[in-house]
Amino acid sequence: MKVALIGVGQAGGNVTERLAQFDADMGFGAVQGALAINSAEADLHSLEFVDTLLIGADRVNGHGVGADNELGAEIMQADIQQVVNALDGRVTSRADAIFVVAGLGGGTGSGGSPALVHHLQQIYDVPVYALGILPGRNEGALYQANAGRSLKTLAREADSTLLIDNDSWHEQGESVEDAFDRINGKIAQRVGLLFASGEAVDGVGESVVDSSEVINTFRAGGISVLGYASEIAAEEASENLRTVMSVSRQALLTGTSLPDATRADAALLVIAGKPEAVPRKGVEKARRWLEEETDSMQVRGGDFPLESDRLGALVLLGGAERSSRLDEFMERAREAKRAQEDEGDREDPADALTDDRLEGLF
């Protein structure tokens, strides 16, 4: 699946950087172009693997929007032509999809990404997806409220929103800096493998997943969720039947980017590993199990040839049902909104995925 990546804000830029680096290091060739956009100039200086663009210089002088996502949306809208010009040559006819990557708690990312997705939908005839990162419980009330409003708008504007909860991959005792670095690495590995599905790699699998199957899974719309797990593999495929089932179960039940999300309109199972180590019967059995667990008849499955001593299972859920973790987050967003004295009559972010109006951010 060939993609163009656009990171918006600090977190979006950092994740886009890691994705581009992972794709280059693995030699997948899935990332066709990558651009990081921010209103804070200092946050762009550390990025080496992506092109960068500063927006809003006339409004905030390169100092960022200070977690004001309405200002972030305004700046993106005001400088949208500058952004479109920067995308020239980076979003090409080879791209199967565009991914807008953003942390949903800050200002530029949470405000600018929905505005950008809205505009890209009017320009390009390929799917425009969002990769949205929810703030952790300890990241402050303003970030919770920002993310609630941003998610509402993104879920409506994007063809699908791949949601990642920071808390799902955070380990106790980690410093904030170490946690973000490790989480960004996990995002890059998992999403990078998803992008690489169907791309030309060494080895030929028995039933290789192609980009159309990824896109068809995303076509369910709404919220998408990604799960992953891996284990050491035996050399012979016949010895890996249980391993395939084990990693598939872990990927869905304990390894997803949004915990407790197990039911969906569509799903995709990708088993990655050496072709000679992947048991065809095991993949089909795991696919049928996933069909039952997700309560979906649209479950696709296949393998992805990868030189590794491990077998990995990647599970993509499209049109995922509201999970208890998402409900818990929306409740935090609602409480954060109530705690803000200046919120006035703004609409409730807990209405996230049901309100069809555009007043969320723009």
Task: Give the closest residue to 326 by CA, choosing from 260, 256, 253, 263.
Answer: 260
- Residue 284: what pLDDT? 96
Query: Tokens 């179960």 label which residue?
Result: 249
- Residue 106: what pLDDT? 93
Edge-to-edge, what's the strand order for the sheet holding 31-38? 51-54, 31-38, 3-8, 97-103, 128-134, 160-165, 223-232, 310-320, 264-273, 299-305
- Residue 42: what pLDDT? 97
Which sequence spans correspond to the domains of the chain? 3-196+324-351, 225-320
- The annotation status of 16 as a binding-site residue, yes or no, is no
Q: Which CATH superfamily is domain 225-320 in?
A: Tubulin/FtsZ, C-terminal domain (3.30.1330.20)
In this structure, the strands spanning 310-320 and 223-232 are antiparallel
- Residue 328: what pLDDT? 81
Task: Give the closest residue to 227 by CA, choosing from 206, 210, 248.
Answer: 248
Buried b (16+ CB within 10 A) or exposed e, 225-245: bbbbbbbebeeebeebbebbb
Length of the chain: 362
Task: Give the closest residue to 347 by CA, choosing from 330, 326, 323.
Answer: 330
- The annotation status of 12 as a binding-site residue, yes or no, is yes
- Residue 88: what pLDDT? 92
- The annotation status of 107 as a binding-site residue, yes or no, is yes
Q: Residue 223 is inside which H or E element, if any?
A: strand 223-232
- Residue 167: what pLDDT? 83
- The annotation status of 11 as a binding-site residue, yes or no, is yes
Cβ–Cβ under 8 Å, residues 7 and 35 = yes
> What tokens does 282 get?
């095991």
Cα 11 from chain centre: 12
Per-residue pLDDT 10s for the chain (362 aa) are 999 999 999 999 999 999 999 999 999 999 999 999 999 999 999 999 999 999 999 999 999 999 999 999 999 999 999 999 999 988 999 999 999 999 999 999 999 999 999 999 999 999 999 999 999 888 888 899 899 989 999 999 999 999 999 887 766 666 667 788 889 999 999 999 999 986 655 555 557 888 999 999 999 999 999 999 999 999 999 999 999 999 999 999 999 999 888 899 999 999 999 999 999 999 999 999 999 999 999 999 999 999 999 999 999 999 998 777 788 878 878 887 777 645 555 554 445 444 443 346 65
- The annotation status of 111 as a binding-site residue, yes or no, is no
> What tokens does 235 get?
């050399």
- The annotation status of 13 as a binding-site residue, yes or no, is yes
Cβ–Cβ under 8 Å, residues 8 and 109 = yes
Q: What is the CATH number of domain 3-196+324-351?
A: 3.40.50.1440
Q: Do domains 3-196+324-351 and 225-320 have the same CATH topology?
A: no
Look up the pTM and report it: 0.91
Q: How does pLDDT run across 120-178, given as a tens digit for each residue? A: 999 999 999 999 999 988 888 889 989 998 999 999 999 999 999 988 776 666 666 77
- The annotation status of 144 as a binding-site residue, yes or no, is no
Residue type for 343, please?
E
